[in-house]
């Protein structure tokens, strides 16, 4: 396995610092499995009220994503 697929859900919440609530729902071996998990989650309380908040990202295993660090502007 060279890649994994992460299923995220994000929605606005004015009660939180930054006004955003981000959840990592899970990590999956295929994009299809991530999409199936999205379908299951979309039926659950909270997620079903924010159906546009889902995102699947593909991540290469054993690779650093921020090799140059970061700055805050």
Domain edges within the chain: 3-60
Mean pLDDT score, 9-18 = 84
For residue 16, what pLDDT band results from cuts at 50, 70 and 90? confident
Helices (H) and strands (E) in the chain, counts: 1, 3
Average pLDDT, the chain: 94
Pairwise CA distance, residues 68 & 7, whole Å: 25
pLDDT confidence of residue 17: 78
pLDDT, tens digit, 9 for 90 and up, residues 22-57:
999 999 999 999 999 999 999 999 999 999 999 999
Give the pTM. 0.85
Largest CA distance in the chain: 40
């Amino acid at each position: 396995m060279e890649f994994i697929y992460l299923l995220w859900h994000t929605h606005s919440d004015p009660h939180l610092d930054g006004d955003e609530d981000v959840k990592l729902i899970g990590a999956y071996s295929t994009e299809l499995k991530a999409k199936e998990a999205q379908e299951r989650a979309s039926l659950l309380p909270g997620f079903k009220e924010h159906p546009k908040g889902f995102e699947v990202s593909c991540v290469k295993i054993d690779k650093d994503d921020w090799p140059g660090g970061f700055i805050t502007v």
